[in-house]
Chain A
Protein backbone atom coordinates (compact mmCIF):
# COMPACT_ATOMS: atom_id res chain seq x y z
CA UNK A 1 0.00 0.00 0.00
CA UNK A 2 2.71 2.42 1.09
CA UNK A 3 4.76 1.39 -1.86
CA UNK A 4 1.85 2.06 -4.18
CA UNK A 5 1.30 5.56 -2.67
CA UNK A 6 4.96 6.35 -3.05
CA UNK A 7 4.85 5.22 -6.68
CA UNK A 8 1.83 7.35 -7.56
CA UNK A 9 3.42 10.33 -5.77
CA UNK A 10 6.50 9.91 -7.93
CA UNK A 11 4.33 9.79 -11.04
CA UNK A 12 2.62 13.05 -10.12
CA UNK A 13 5.98 14.73 -9.54
CA UNK A 14 7.18 13.42 -12.88
CA UNK A 15 4.20 14.96 -14.67
CA UNK A 16 4.61 18.30 -12.96
CA UNK A 17 8.26 18.21 -13.88
CA UNK A 18 7.40 17.69 -17.53
CA UNK A 19 5.31 20.86 -17.58
CA UNK A 20 8.03 22.70 -15.72
CA UNK A 21 10.72 21.57 -18.16
CA UNK A 22 8.57 22.75 -21.06
CA UNK A 23 8.10 26.19 -19.45
CA UNK A 24 11.80 26.45 -18.69
CA UNK A 25 12.50 25.73 -22.34
CA UNK A 26 10.25 28.60 -23.44
CA UNK A 27 11.96 30.94 -20.99
CA UNK A 28 15.45 29.99 -22.12
CA UNK A 29 14.30 30.42 -25.72
CA UNK A 30 13.16 33.96 -24.91
CA UNK A 31 16.42 34.64 -23.06
CA UNK A 32 18.42 33.46 -26.08
CA UNK A 33 16.32 35.68 -28.32
CA UNK A 34 17.15 38.71 -26.17
CA UNK A 35 20.81 37.71 -26.11
CA UNK A 36 20.88 37.70 -29.91
CA UNK A 37 19.14 41.11 -29.95
CA UNK A 38 21.74 42.39 -27.54
CA UNK A 39 24.61 41.14 -29.70
CA UNK A 40 23.10 42.58 -32.88
CA UNK A 41 22.44 45.92 -31.18
CA UNK A 42 26.02 46.07 -29.89
CA UNK A 43 27.47 45.30 -33.33
CA UNK A 44 25.20 47.75 -35.15
CA UNK A 45 26.06 50.44 -32.61
CA UNK A 46 29.81 49.86 -32.96
CA UNK A 47 29.48 50.19 -36.71
CA UNK A 48 27.21 53.26 -36.76
CA UNK A 49 29.04 54.94 -33.89
CA UNK A 50 32.21 55.00 -35.93
CA UNK A 51 30.25 56.63 -38.74
CA UNK A 52 29.09 59.33 -36.33
CA UNK A 53 25.46 58.19 -35.90
CA UNK A 54 25.23 56.22 -32.62
CA UNK A 55 22.07 54.16 -32.09
CA UNK A 56 19.92 56.01 -29.58
CA UNK A 57 19.21 54.15 -26.37
CA UNK A 58 21.81 51.39 -26.79
CA UNK A 59 23.13 52.00 -23.29
CA UNK A 60 19.81 51.56 -21.51
CA UNK A 61 18.51 48.76 -23.75
CA UNK A 62 21.69 46.77 -22.97
CA UNK A 63 20.87 47.13 -19.28
CA UNK A 64 17.24 46.05 -19.72
CA UNK A 65 18.09 43.10 -21.97
CA UNK A 66 20.86 41.97 -19.62
CA UNK A 67 18.45 41.89 -16.70
CA UNK A 68 15.83 39.97 -18.66
CA UNK A 69 18.37 37.43 -19.93
CA UNK A 70 19.66 36.69 -16.41
CA UNK A 71 16.13 36.42 -15.03
CA UNK A 72 14.76 34.10 -17.70
CA UNK A 73 17.82 31.84 -17.70
CA UNK A 74 17.67 31.19 -13.93
CA UNK A 75 15.24 28.26 -13.90
CA UNK A 76 16.99 26.11 -16.48
CA UNK A 77 20.41 26.86 -15.02
CA UNK A 78 19.19 25.66 -11.63
CA UNK A 79 17.64 22.52 -13.15
CA UNK A 80 20.85 21.54 -14.91
CA UNK A 81 22.96 22.46 -11.86
CA UNK A 82 25.07 24.85 -13.90
CA UNK A 83 25.20 27.38 -11.11
CA UNK A 84 27.97 27.76 -8.57
CA UNK A 85 27.30 25.84 -5.39
CA UNK A 86 29.73 25.77 -2.50
CA UNK A 87 29.77 22.31 -0.94
CA UNK A 88 33.17 22.28 0.80
CA UNK A 89 31.54 21.86 4.20
CA UNK A 90 28.58 19.75 3.13
CA UNK A 91 30.81 17.07 1.59
CA UNK A 92 32.45 16.43 4.97
CA UNK A 93 29.18 15.17 6.46
CA UNK A 94 27.76 11.65 6.10
CA UNK A 95 25.29 11.04 3.24
CA UNK A 96 22.18 11.17 5.42
CA UNK A 97 23.08 14.53 6.93
CA UNK A 98 24.01 15.79 3.48
CA UNK A 99 20.46 15.05 2.36
CA UNK A 100 19.00 16.96 5.31
CA UNK A 101 21.33 19.90 4.64
CA UNK A 102 20.34 19.86 0.98
CA UNK A 103 16.72 19.93 2.02
CA UNK A 104 17.28 22.91 4.34
CA UNK A 105 19.34 24.70 1.68
CA UNK A 106 16.69 24.22 -1.00
CA UNK A 107 13.97 25.32 1.38
CA UNK A 108 15.83 28.55 2.20
CA UNK A 109 16.47 29.19 -1.52
CA UNK A 110 12.77 28.65 -2.19
CA UNK A 111 11.83 31.19 0.46
CA UNK A 112 14.40 33.64 -0.89
CA UNK A 113 13.19 33.43 -4.48
CA UNK A 114 9.53 33.67 -3.49
CA UNK A 115 10.32 36.91 -1.63
CA UNK A 116 12.35 38.21 -4.59
CA UNK A 117 9.49 37.35 -6.98
CA UNK A 118 6.92 39.19 -4.87
CA UNK A 119 9.14 42.23 -4.35
CA UNK A 120 10.20 42.53 -8.00
CA UNK A 121 6.57 42.16 -9.08
CA UNK A 122 5.55 44.92 -6.64
CA UNK A 123 8.35 47.12 -7.98
CA UNK A 124 7.12 46.59 -11.56
CA UNK A 125 3.59 47.53 -10.52
CA UNK A 126 4.91 50.65 -8.80
CA UNK A 127 6.78 51.76 -11.93
CA UNK A 128 3.67 51.01 -14.01
CA UNK A 129 1.38 53.03 -11.71
CA UNK A 130 3.89 55.91 -11.40
CA UNK A 131 4.01 56.22 -15.22
CA UNK A 132 7.81 56.21 -15.03
CA UNK A 133 9.62 55.88 -18.36
CA UNK A 134 13.23 55.10 -19.28
CA UNK A 135 15.78 57.92 -19.27
CA UNK A 136 16.89 58.06 -22.91
CA UNK A 137 14.19 56.50 -25.09
CA UNK A 138 11.33 57.54 -22.79
CA UNK A 139 9.69 54.13 -23.21
CA UNK A 140 7.71 52.31 -20.51
CA UNK A 141 10.08 49.80 -18.94
CA UNK A 142 7.94 47.95 -16.40
CA UNK A 143 7.56 44.93 -18.78
CA UNK A 144 11.29 44.24 -18.30
CA UNK A 145 10.79 44.22 -14.54
CA UNK A 146 7.81 41.87 -14.87
CA UNK A 147 9.91 39.58 -17.09
CA UNK A 148 12.54 39.44 -14.36
CA UNK A 149 9.93 38.48 -11.77
CA UNK A 150 8.63 35.78 -14.15
CA UNK A 151 12.16 34.34 -14.20
CA UNK A 152 12.42 34.28 -10.41
CA UNK A 153 8.91 32.76 -10.19
CA UNK A 154 10.06 29.84 -12.34
CA UNK A 155 13.26 29.25 -10.41
CA UNK A 156 11.02 29.06 -7.32
CA UNK A 157 8.91 26.40 -9.06
CA UNK A 158 12.06 24.50 -10.06
CA UNK A 159 13.39 24.48 -6.52
CA UNK A 160 9.97 23.45 -5.19
CA UNK A 161 9.97 20.40 -7.46
CA UNK A 162 13.52 19.57 -6.37
CA UNK A 163 12.29 19.59 -2.78
CA UNK A 164 9.36 17.31 -3.64
CA UNK A 165 11.79 14.89 -5.29
CA UNK A 166 14.10 14.96 -2.29
CA UNK A 167 11.06 14.22 -0.08
CA UNK A 168 9.88 11.35 -2.26
CA UNK A 169 13.33 9.80 -2.16
CA UNK A 170 13.48 9.61 1.63
Chain B
Protein backbone atom coordinates (compact mmCIF):
# COMPACT_ATOMS: atom_id res chain seq x y z
CA UNK B 1 0.00 0.00 0.00
CA UNK B 2 2.76 2.39 1.02
CA UNK B 3 4.72 1.46 -2.10
CA UNK B 4 1.70 2.16 -4.31
CA UNK B 5 1.22 5.54 -2.72
CA UNK B 6 4.82 6.59 -3.32
CA UNK B 7 4.58 5.38 -6.92
CA UNK B 8 1.40 7.43 -7.34
CA UNK B 9 3.07 10.54 -5.90
CA UNK B 10 6.12 10.04 -8.12
CA UNK B 11 3.95 9.84 -11.24
CA UNK B 12 1.98 12.97 -10.26
CA UNK B 13 5.16 14.90 -9.53
CA UNK B 14 6.78 13.86 -12.81
CA UNK B 15 3.67 14.90 -14.75
CA UNK B 16 3.71 18.26 -12.96
CA UNK B 17 7.34 18.81 -13.96
CA UNK B 18 6.66 17.93 -17.60
CA UNK B 19 3.64 20.25 -17.78
CA UNK B 20 5.50 23.17 -16.20
CA UNK B 21 8.34 22.78 -18.73
CA UNK B 22 5.99 22.77 -21.73
CA UNK B 23 4.23 25.88 -20.44
CA UNK B 24 1.96 27.61 -22.96
CA UNK B 25 3.86 30.07 -25.14
CA UNK B 26 2.58 33.60 -25.55
CA UNK B 27 -0.10 34.19 -28.13
CA UNK B 28 0.76 36.89 -30.65
CA UNK B 29 -1.77 39.51 -31.68
CA UNK B 30 -1.84 41.43 -34.96
CA UNK B 31 1.12 43.51 -33.84
CA UNK B 32 4.58 42.54 -35.08
CA UNK B 33 6.76 41.88 -32.08
CA UNK B 34 10.53 42.04 -32.53
CA UNK B 35 13.16 41.12 -29.96
CA UNK B 36 16.07 43.54 -29.63
CA UNK B 37 19.10 42.16 -27.75
CA UNK B 38 21.90 44.26 -26.29
CA UNK B 39 24.94 43.31 -24.24
CA UNK B 40 25.79 46.14 -21.77
CA UNK B 41 23.63 47.15 -18.76
CA UNK B 42 20.50 49.27 -19.31
CA UNK B 43 22.13 52.48 -18.02
CA UNK B 44 24.78 52.63 -20.78
CA UNK B 45 24.53 54.58 -24.03
CA UNK B 46 24.10 51.56 -26.37
CA UNK B 47 20.99 50.70 -24.34
CA UNK B 48 19.77 54.29 -24.09
CA UNK B 49 19.89 54.51 -27.89
CA UNK B 50 18.05 51.17 -28.05
CA UNK B 51 15.16 52.52 -25.95
CA UNK B 52 15.08 55.72 -28.00
CA UNK B 53 15.02 53.73 -31.27
CA UNK B 54 12.23 51.53 -29.89
CA UNK B 55 10.15 54.56 -28.95
CA UNK B 56 10.65 56.29 -32.29
CA UNK B 57 10.02 53.24 -34.43
CA UNK B 58 6.90 52.26 -32.48
CA UNK B 59 5.55 55.77 -32.87
CA UNK B 60 6.39 56.06 -36.57
CA UNK B 61 4.86 52.67 -37.38
CA UNK B 62 1.60 53.80 -35.73
CA UNK B 63 1.88 51.13 -33.09
CA UNK B 64 2.18 48.24 -35.55
CA UNK B 65 5.68 47.40 -34.37
CA UNK B 66 6.26 46.27 -30.83
CA UNK B 67 9.92 46.14 -29.83
CA UNK B 68 10.89 44.04 -26.85
CA UNK B 69 14.28 45.08 -25.49
CA UNK B 70 16.74 42.81 -23.70
CA UNK B 71 19.62 44.80 -22.14
CA UNK B 72 22.53 43.43 -20.13
CA UNK B 73 23.18 40.32 -22.22
CA UNK B 74 19.94 38.67 -21.11
CA UNK B 75 19.25 37.31 -24.59
CA UNK B 76 22.66 37.31 -26.30
CA UNK B 77 26.15 38.18 -25.03
CA UNK B 78 28.72 40.65 -26.40
CA UNK B 79 30.55 38.17 -28.58
CA UNK B 80 27.74 35.94 -29.85
CA UNK B 81 25.40 38.78 -30.78
CA UNK B 82 26.02 38.86 -34.54
CA UNK B 83 25.97 35.09 -34.99
CA UNK B 84 22.92 34.87 -32.73
CA UNK B 85 21.04 37.35 -34.91
CA UNK B 86 22.09 35.50 -38.08
CA UNK B 87 20.82 32.26 -36.52
CA UNK B 88 17.56 33.97 -35.51
CA UNK B 89 17.92 33.78 -31.71
CA UNK B 90 17.00 37.46 -31.66
CA UNK B 91 15.44 39.54 -34.45
CA UNK B 92 17.63 42.56 -33.74
CA UNK B 93 20.97 42.87 -31.96
CA UNK B 94 23.42 45.61 -31.06
CA UNK B 95 27.08 44.63 -30.96
CA UNK B 96 30.57 46.11 -31.11
CA UNK B 97 32.40 45.44 -34.38
CA UNK B 98 35.66 46.08 -32.53
CA UNK B 99 35.18 43.02 -30.30
CA UNK B 100 35.80 40.79 -33.34
CA UNK B 101 39.32 41.70 -34.52
CA UNK B 102 40.02 40.60 -38.09
CA UNK B 103 36.39 40.03 -38.99
CA UNK B 104 35.54 43.50 -40.33
CA UNK B 105 38.72 44.62 -42.10
CA UNK B 106 37.06 47.51 -43.96
CA UNK B 107 35.14 49.08 -41.07
CA UNK B 108 38.14 48.63 -38.75
CA UNK B 109 39.64 51.75 -40.39
CA UNK B 110 37.29 53.88 -38.25
CA UNK B 111 38.86 52.39 -35.12
CA UNK B 112 42.34 53.65 -35.99
CA UNK B 113 43.56 56.44 -33.68
CA UNK B 114 43.04 59.21 -36.22
CA UNK B 115 42.37 61.85 -33.59
CA UNK B 116 38.57 61.87 -33.75
CA UNK B 117 37.11 64.91 -32.05
CA UNK B 118 33.79 63.39 -31.08
CA UNK B 119 31.46 60.44 -31.50
CA UNK B 120 29.10 62.24 -33.88
CA UNK B 121 31.69 62.67 -36.62
CA UNK B 122 33.06 59.15 -36.15
CA UNK B 123 29.55 57.65 -36.15
CA UNK B 124 28.45 59.41 -39.34
CA UNK B 125 31.74 58.52 -41.04
CA UNK B 126 31.22 54.87 -40.05
CA UNK B 127 27.77 54.87 -41.64
CA UNK B 128 29.13 56.52 -44.81
CA UNK B 129 31.99 54.04 -45.00
CA UNK B 130 29.55 51.15 -44.67
CA UNK B 131 27.29 52.55 -47.38
CA UNK B 132 30.15 53.15 -49.78
CA UNK B 133 31.84 49.74 -49.45
CA UNK B 134 28.91 47.52 -48.40
CA UNK B 135 31.30 44.97 -46.86
CA UNK B 136 30.87 41.22 -47.40
CA UNK B 137 31.27 40.60 -43.65
CA UNK B 138 27.82 42.09 -42.95
CA UNK B 139 25.95 40.76 -46.02
CA UNK B 140 24.02 38.20 -43.98
CA UNK B 141 22.23 40.83 -41.89
CA UNK B 142 20.31 44.06 -42.42
CA UNK B 143 22.07 47.09 -40.92
CA UNK B 144 19.58 49.26 -39.04
CA UNK B 145 21.98 51.84 -37.64
CA UNK B 146 25.63 52.30 -36.72
CA UNK B 147 27.48 54.47 -34.24
CA UNK B 148 30.73 54.72 -32.30
CA UNK B 149 31.58 55.63 -28.76
CA UNK B 150 33.47 58.90 -28.15
CA UNK B 151 37.30 58.74 -28.41
CA UNK B 152 38.90 56.67 -25.67
CA UNK B 153 40.85 58.08 -22.75
CA UNK B 154 42.44 56.36 -19.79
CA UNK B 155 40.80 55.57 -16.47
CA UNK B 156 42.97 54.08 -13.77
CA UNK B 157 43.18 53.09 -10.11
CA UNK B 158 46.60 54.75 -9.76
CA UNK B 159 47.38 58.06 -11.50
CA UNK B 160 48.94 57.96 -14.98
CA UNK B 161 50.78 61.28 -15.16
CA UNK B 162 53.32 60.39 -17.80
CA UNK B 163 53.97 57.66 -20.35
CA UNK B 164 56.41 56.02 -17.95
CA UNK B 165 53.53 55.47 -15.46
CA UNK B 166 51.93 53.22 -18.06
CA UNK B 167 54.80 50.78 -18.35
CA UNK B 168 53.55 47.24 -17.72
CA UNK B 169 50.22 48.48 -16.40
CA UNK B 170 47.37 46.07 -17.13
CA UNK B 171 44.74 48.07 -18.94
CA UNK B 172 41.62 46.81 -20.63
CA UNK B 173 41.03 47.77 -24.24
CA UNK B 174 38.96 46.69 -27.22
CA UNK B 175 39.72 46.33 -30.91
CA UNK B 176 42.59 48.48 -32.16
CA UNK B 177 42.91 49.83 -28.60
CA UNK B 178 44.91 46.73 -27.69
CA UNK B 179 47.66 47.60 -30.17
CA UNK B 180 47.45 51.29 -29.19
CA UNK B 181 48.12 50.54 -25.52
CA UNK B 182 50.92 48.18 -26.42
CA UNK B 183 52.61 50.93 -28.44
CA UNK B 184 52.29 53.22 -25.41
CA UNK B 185 54.10 50.65 -23.26
CA UNK B 186 51.16 49.28 -21.26
CA UNK B 187 50.18 45.62 -20.96
CA UNK B 188 46.77 45.54 -22.67
CA UNK B 189 44.03 42.98 -22.03
CA UNK B 190 41.31 42.75 -24.67
CA UNK B 191 37.80 42.16 -23.37
CA UNK B 192 34.22 43.36 -23.92
CA UNK B 193 33.04 46.29 -21.80
CA UNK B 194 30.50 43.99 -20.13
CA UNK B 195 33.35 41.93 -18.59
CA UNK B 196 35.16 44.96 -17.15
CA UNK B 197 33.32 45.40 -13.79
CA UNK B 198 34.24 41.86 -12.75
CA UNK B 199 37.84 42.25 -13.97
CA UNK B 200 38.24 45.55 -12.12
CA UNK B 201 36.80 44.06 -8.96
CA UNK B 202 39.14 41.04 -9.13
CA UNK B 203 42.08 43.33 -9.96
CA UNK B 204 42.73 41.49 -13.23
CA UNK B 205 43.02 44.98 -14.72
CA UNK B 206 44.18 48.21 -13.10
CA UNK B 207 42.53 50.58 -15.47
CA UNK B 208 40.91 50.81 -18.84
CA UNK B 209 40.91 52.64 -22.10
CA UNK B 210 37.44 53.63 -23.19
CA UNK B 211 35.20 56.61 -23.74
CA UNK B 212 34.59 58.38 -20.43
CA UNK B 213 30.80 58.04 -20.10
CA UNK B 214 31.43 54.59 -18.55
CA UNK B 215 32.74 56.34 -15.42
CA UNK B 216 29.12 57.10 -14.59
CA UNK B 217 27.15 54.47 -16.53
CA UNK B 218 29.18 51.57 -15.10
CA UNK B 219 30.09 53.46 -11.92
CA UNK B 220 33.81 52.90 -12.61
CA UNK B 221 34.53 56.21 -10.86
CA UNK B 222 34.20 54.30 -7.62
CA UNK B 223 37.31 52.25 -8.48
CA UNK B 224 39.15 54.51 -10.90
CA UNK B 225 39.83 57.87 -9.31
CA UNK B 226 42.06 59.11 -12.15
CA UNK B 227 41.32 60.09 -15.72
CA UNK B 228 44.15 60.75 -18.16
CA UNK B 229 43.15 62.51 -21.36
CA UNK B 230 44.74 60.95 -24.42
CA UNK B 231 42.10 61.13 -27.18
CA UNK B 232 42.80 57.66 -28.61
CA UNK B 233 40.66 55.36 -30.79
CA UNK B 234 36.89 54.83 -30.97
CA UNK B 235 34.96 51.56 -30.71
CA UNK B 236 32.36 51.01 -33.42
CA UNK B 237 28.92 49.46 -33.01
CA UNK B 238 26.31 48.13 -35.40
CA UNK B 239 22.64 47.36 -34.89
CA UNK B 240 21.76 44.45 -37.13
CA UNK B 241 18.59 42.60 -37.99
CA UNK B 242 18.01 39.03 -39.08
CA UNK B 243 17.56 39.02 -42.87
CA UNK B 244 14.48 36.75 -42.88
CA UNK B 245 12.81 38.82 -40.17
CA UNK B 246 13.59 41.95 -42.19
CA UNK B 247 12.14 40.50 -45.40
CA UNK B 248 8.94 39.54 -43.55
CA UNK B 249 8.28 43.20 -42.60
CA UNK B 250 5.76 45.17 -44.69
CA UNK B 251 7.39 47.50 -47.25
CA UNK B 252 6.19 50.73 -45.57
CA UNK B 253 7.62 49.64 -42.22
CA UNK B 254 10.93 48.84 -43.88
CA UNK B 255 10.96 52.36 -45.29
CA UNK B 256 10.23 53.89 -41.87
CA UNK B 257 13.19 52.02 -40.38
CA UNK B 258 15.56 52.80 -43.26
CA UNK B 259 14.70 56.48 -43.20
CA UNK B 260 15.56 56.62 -39.52
CA UNK B 261 19.09 55.25 -39.80
CA UNK B 262 21.01 58.50 -40.53
CA UNK B 263 19.00 60.65 -38.12
CA UNK B 264 19.30 58.07 -35.34
CA UNK B 265 23.07 57.75 -35.81
CA UNK B 266 23.38 61.50 -35.40
CA UNK B 267 21.15 61.45 -32.33
CA UNK B 268 23.32 58.76 -30.68
CA UNK B 269 26.50 60.73 -31.40
CA UNK B 270 25.07 63.93 -29.97
CA UNK B 271 23.67 62.17 -26.93
CA UNK B 272 26.84 60.31 -26.00
CA UNK B 273 29.10 63.31 -26.65
CA UNK B 274 27.16 65.46 -24.22
CA UNK B 275 26.82 62.53 -21.84
CA UNK B 276 30.63 62.25 -21.56
CA UNK B 277 30.86 65.85 -20.30
CA UNK B 278 28.12 65.14 -17.81
CA UNK B 279 29.74 61.88 -16.64
CA UNK B 280 33.11 63.53 -16.07
CA UNK B 281 31.47 66.30 -14.04
CA UNK B 282 29.53 63.71 -12.03
CA UNK B 283 32.74 61.74 -11.30
CA UNK B 284 34.50 64.90 -10.14
CA UNK B 285 31.60 65.85 -7.86
CA UNK B 286 30.83 62.44 -6.41
CA UNK B 287 34.23 60.74 -6.16
CA UNK B 288 36.53 63.78 -6.61
CA UNK B 289 38.11 62.12 -9.63
CA UNK B 290 41.22 63.90 -10.89
CA UNK B 291 41.57 64.69 -14.61
CA UNK B 292 45.18 64.59 -15.80
CA UNK B 293 46.66 65.83 -19.07
CA UNK B 294 49.82 64.44 -20.65
CA UNK B 295 52.73 66.86 -21.03
CA UNK B 296 53.51 68.29 -24.47
CA UNK B 297 56.49 65.98 -24.91
CA UNK B 298 54.40 62.93 -24.07
CA UNK B 299 51.62 64.00 -26.44
CA UNK B 300 54.19 64.30 -29.24
CA UNK B 301 55.61 60.90 -28.36
CA UNK B 302 52.14 59.34 -28.42
CA UNK B 303 51.47 60.81 -31.87
CA UNK B 304 54.76 59.38 -33.10
CA UNK B 305 54.09 55.91 -31.62
CA UNK B 306 50.60 55.73 -33.06
CA UNK B 307 51.52 56.96 -36.54
CA UNK B 308 52.73 53.44 -37.38
CA UNK B 309 49.24 52.01 -36.91
CA UNK B 310 47.77 53.37 -40.15
CA UNK B 311 50.67 51.93 -42.11
CA UNK B 312 50.27 48.60 -40.30
CA UNK B 313 46.60 48.62 -41.21
CA UNK B 314 47.31 49.21 -44.91
CA UNK B 315 49.93 46.44 -44.99
CA UNK B 316 47.79 43.93 -43.11
CA UNK B 317 44.49 44.51 -44.90
CA UNK B 318 45.83 45.04 -48.42
CA UNK B 319 47.09 41.47 -48.51
CA UNK B 320 43.44 40.31 -48.65
CA UNK B 321 42.68 42.26 -51.83
CA UNK B 322 41.02 45.08 -49.93
CA UNK B 323 41.80 48.63 -51.12
CA UNK B 324 43.07 49.74 -47.70
CA UNK B 325 44.70 52.92 -48.96
CA UNK B 326 41.51 54.15 -50.61
CA UNK B 327 39.48 53.23 -47.52
CA UNK B 328 41.77 55.20 -45.23
CA UNK B 329 41.65 58.17 -47.60
CA UNK B 330 37.84 58.04 -47.59
CA UNK B 331 37.71 57.86 -43.81
CA UNK B 332 39.90 60.94 -43.51
CA UNK B 333 37.70 62.72 -46.04
CA UNK B 334 34.53 61.86 -44.10
CA UNK B 335 36.26 62.94 -40.91
CA UNK B 336 37.12 66.41 -42.14
CA UNK B 337 33.68 66.77 -43.72
CA UNK B 338 31.79 65.99 -40.52
CA UNK B 339 34.14 67.66 -38.07
CA UNK B 340 33.47 70.96 -39.81
CA UNK B 341 29.88 70.80 -38.60
CA UNK B 342 30.06 68.90 -35.32
Contact = CB atoms under 8 A, between A and B. Distances in A.
B274 to A, nearest CB: 30
A131 B103 contact: yes
B310 interface: no
B238 to A, nearest CB: 15
Interface in B303-334: 320
Contacts of B188: 56, 136
A134 interface: yes
A92 B205 CA distance: 51
A139 to B, nearest CB: 10
The dominant DSSP class at the A interface is loop
Contacts of A136: 178, 188-190
A54 B83 contact: no
Interface stretch (B21-29, B125-133, B167-175, B253-261): B167-175
Nearest to A48: B168
A132 B102 contact: yes
A59 B14 contact: no
B187 A135 contact: no
Contacts of B103: 130-132
A64 interface: no
A54 B178 contact: no
Chain A contact residues (Cβ within 8 angstroms of B): what range? 20 to 34
A126 interface: yes
Contacts of A134: 101, 190
Contacts of B174: 135
Contacts of B190: 60, 134-136
A98 to B, nearest CB: 11
A161 to B, nearest CB: 27
B13 interface: yes
A133 B189 contact: no
B83 A135 contact: no
B168 A93 contact: no
A52 B102 contact: no
Contacts of A89: 10, 13-14
B101 A133 contact: yes
Interface in B177-193: 178, 187-191
A52 B167 contact: yes
Contacts of B199: 59
Given A89-B13, A92-B6, A59 B189 contact: yes
A56 B100 CA distance: 18
Contacts of B147: none
Contact of B191 (A53, A59, A123): A59
Given A59-B189, A92-B10, A136-B188, A54 B102 contact: no
Given A52-B168, A132-B103, 5 more contacts: A89-B10, A132-B102, A133-B102, A135-B174, A136-B178
